[in-house]
Copies of this chain bind each other. A is one copy, B any other.
Amino acid sequence: MDTKTVGKVPFEKGELVTNSNFTGTVWLNYLAETDSIHNVNIGSVTFAPGARTNWHYHKGGQILLVTAGRGLYQEKGKPIEVIETGEVVKCPPNIEHWHGATPKDTMTHIAIGTNTNIGGAVWLDPVTDEEYHKN
């Protein structure tokens, strides 16, 4: 295995995300693909104001390191939480949730998918405007 790979840490936006798992303008800078040795994947994700993931869950869990800006995080059935630069969020396996920017701020986090040998993200419905703006 080639143990040294070149990524773009920190904070280059990377590529515009064009799939339907997100609402709004989102960039992904993929830092480390998973492998059968380390069992994690790592990406820096930047959300323009108003942008967010769909509802989703991770079979193996995820950890978010908020590296710039201010965003939102919500687990199904719980209140929306504000997440600021410097905060670390642990998303346990199989807990439905979403994350993204606030309506006014851009937010970047490093997302670490854990236990990828168990499985990755399972994508669900978009977060509606009504859900996103509920306080």
Q: Which A positions have Cβ atoms within 8 angstroms of B?
A: 1, 3-10, 12, 31-32, 35, 37-40, 42, 61, 63, 65-67, 73, 75, 81, 83, 85-93, 95, 110, 112, 114-115
- In the complex, the count of this chain's copies comes to 2
Q: Is the Cβ of A86 less than 8 Å from the Cβ of B7?
A: yes
Q: Which residues of B contact A42 (CB under 8 A)?
A: 63, 65, 88, 112
Q: Is the Cβ of A9 less than 8 Å from the Cβ of B65?
A: yes
Given contacts A10-B67, A42-B65, A115-B39, A1 and B88 within 8 Å (CB-CB) = no
Q: Is the Cβ of B88 less than 8 Å from the Cβ of A63?
A: no
Q: Report the bound CA distance from A95 to B3 in whole Å.
A: 11
Q: Is the Cβ of B3 less than 8 Å from the Cβ of A89?
A: yes
A123 to chain B, nearest CB (A): 20
4 A-B pairs with least C-beta separation: A7-B88, A38-B114, A9-B65, A38-B61
Q: Is the Cβ of B4 less than 8 Å from the Cβ of A81?
A: yes
Q: Is the Cβ of B37 less than 8 Å from the Cβ of A61?
A: yes
A113 to chain B, nearest CB (A): 10
Q: Report the bound CA distance from A1 to B94 in whole Å.
A: 14
Q: Which of the residues B6, B63, B110 comes within 8 Å of A38, measured between beta carbons? A: B63
